[in-house]
Every structure is written in structure tokens, then in C-alpha cells.
Amino acid sequence: MAQWNRRAVIAGALAAPVVSSVARASGEVRIPVIATEEAFATPELMAALDAGPPGMTDAEKAYTSLLRGGTGAAASELTRKLCSIDARLEDMDANGVDMHLLSVTIPGPQAFLPEEGARIARQLNDGLTAIIQAHPTRFAGLAAIAPQNPAAAVREVERAKQLGLNGVIVNSHSFGEYLDEPKFRPILAALEAQDMPLYLHPRSPSQAMVGPYVNFGLSGALWGYGADTSLHLLRMIFAGVFDEFPRLKVVLGHMGEGIPYYFTRVDNRYRNLMARGGEKLGLKPLRQGPSEYFRTNIFITTSGTFSHDVLRYCVDILGAGRILFAIDYPYERSDEAMRFIRTANLSQADAERIAYRNAQELFGIKNRAFPGL
């Protein structure tokens, strides 16, 4: 009975009315909610993506077109939600979400040739800053960059910090290249120097990888997104990125893109290969076991993975301090996500960490939305 009562308290606290943190008649204080993987776009970006820029594979073009319900006049409600702040605020208010951490929808500037990608990133970040300034208690934001233009990306990371943005999003590969490659080291150095967390977001596998994923819709969120993004993060770990940049912070959505379930396997196989001369395969000595970087450099979010069993597992192996709430709006339903977090069997402290405190600390989101805290 004690466990049921605790769960009821957390559920009631998260379910209370939206906006500021307020005391209810019972004397309890509502737990605020910051959602940390919430996509946005502009009509101009969507039109440019519909034109099929060179950084998108044919499979990605087909998948995203299907998802959005076509182009032009046939564009779906999903596109409207990506571009409409009014629709977003209405959805947030209806479901008790205090704040969205906004980030550009896939593949963003990474679909374009280097100079064009850099221009689009700057434009998006200026627009995002304006949205936040207009609604400072409801939105924070992650800057877009074009890694395919490393010098411009470094400048944009630095400019994003000056704009007051809260981190950077990279939608996995850029023209088939991943962030472990030496050409991207200046970007990682800038992220560390500016203390800007990197949200490593999925997209469809690159042209070199996508072949077997084309059938059955596997190139998208059904499987390919997680497969590509988990590969990206593992490449960064095994390339020694976090040894070179020990203060770099990376966030993975969808409960870590499946990697936490492979911790034992990955650690064991890494030790086994290193003992057998793994350097011949390109492996290098790391300062700690591969999974340990999830306790020092890597955070995960709940986006699109609304399972209490999965949450419990991740809390058990990582601790609540490494997990952030996210919806993945508008690709996932806010009501489903909020029902999930409201009914999670968490202690008061862990519920607060996951619902908003971790996001505040990691992304430097001041208490502007929650003045009572």
C-alpha cells in the first residue's frame, strides 16, 4: 500500500495544471515538466527538404514524404505542427507540458551542400532565438549546425552560445560522415569549450548503410534511426572522443537508442578483442570501459519510448540523474508521453530529476519557467 500511495502522489503532482509551479489545495507542489526532444521547422526549410537536397538518400526522401503526407497542398497535419507555434502551445497547455526544448527536425541543415547548410543553420538559429524571446517561459532551444562545413559549424556553435541557446543538435551523419572522424574534431572542441551539450538525434542510415533497410519501412523510426544513431555514438566512444574531450556531453534519445541493453556485451567484447590484439581492427585503449561513458559523458531521454519497464531498467543501471523526459513532438503523442511519466513508479526525487531538474542543469535552463523553484 505504501508503494501505491507514493505512485499516486507522483502521478497527481505531474498531472496538476500547467504554467508555473503552484501549490495545490493538499499542500503538495506540482512537478514541472520540460520536454527535451521537440522538433520544429519553418515553411522555408520544409519546402527546401521537399525539393530533395543532395544530402538525403532516396530512402530518406520516400520515408519522410510518407510520414508528412506528401508535399505542398497535400502536406499533413504533422508539417503544420512542426511550423506552428500556436498549435504547439495549444498542445502543451492541453497536456500539462511546461516547456519544450526545441530542435530542428531531421535532417535539417545537414541535407544541404556545405555553404547552403551553413546559411540555413544561421537562419534557423536566428528564428529559434526569436521564438524563445517571444515565449521565454515556454521554450528553450538547441542550435542547428552544418557539420559538413566544419569551420562554419564551429563559428555557429560559438554564436549560438552568444544567442543564449542551450546546446546543439546534430541529426546523425552528414553526407555519410560521422563525428568521430578527425575533420570534425574542431566542432567537438568548440562544444566542450562553450559547454554546449550535443543532442545526437537519429535520421535514416547513410547511403553506404541503407540498402538492407529499404524494405518494410525499416529505414525510419521502426529500426533504421536507432541503428544509425547507436552506431554513431559507439564510433565516437571507440574513437576515443570522450577521452580527448572529457567534458563533452552527449544526449541520446529513445532510451539510449538501445545501447544500454548491450552494455555487458559491448564491454565484454571490447575487453576480449583488446586482449587479442584489437588494435589490428582499429580499436584503441580507452580510459574506461565503453559503458562507463554513459555515467560520465552521455545522457539519455525518454523520447518515443513510453514503457515503465524500460524506464525502470535504465534508472537501475544509470541512475535517474542521467535520464531526461522527452516526447518527440509532433512525431509522438504528448498525451501518451505525459500519461507515461505521470504514472511512473518513481520516488519524488527521481521524478523531479527526470521531469525537469536534469534538463535545467544539463542545458543551463534557468528557473525562468518555474519562478517558485
Number of domains in the chain: 1
Q: Does any domain span residue 25?
A: no
Q: Does any domain span residue 70?
A: yes
| pLDDT tens, residue by residue, 40-76 | 999 999 999 989 999 998 888 888 777 776 555 556 8
Active-site position among 195, 328, 335, 350: 328
Q: Which residues of the chain are modeled with pLDDT < 50?
A: 1-13, 15-27, 371-373
Q: Does any domain span residue 320?
A: yes
Q: Does any domain span residue 119?
A: yes
Q: Does any domain span residue 111?
A: yes
| pLDDT tens, residue by residue, 179-236 | 999 999 999 999 999 999 999 999 999 999 999 999 999 999 999 999 999 999 999 9
For residue 186, give the CATH number of its domain: 3.20.20.140
Q: Does any domain span residue 339?
A: yes
CA 26, distance to chain mean position in Å, is 35
Q: Does any domain span residue 352?
A: yes
Model pTM above 0.85 = yes
What domain range is 94 assigned to? 2-14+33-360
In degrees and rounded to multiples of 5, residue 349 shows phi and psi of: -65, -45
Strands 198-200 and 168-170: parallel
Has 328 been annotated as catalytic? yes
Q: Does any domain span residue 366?
A: no
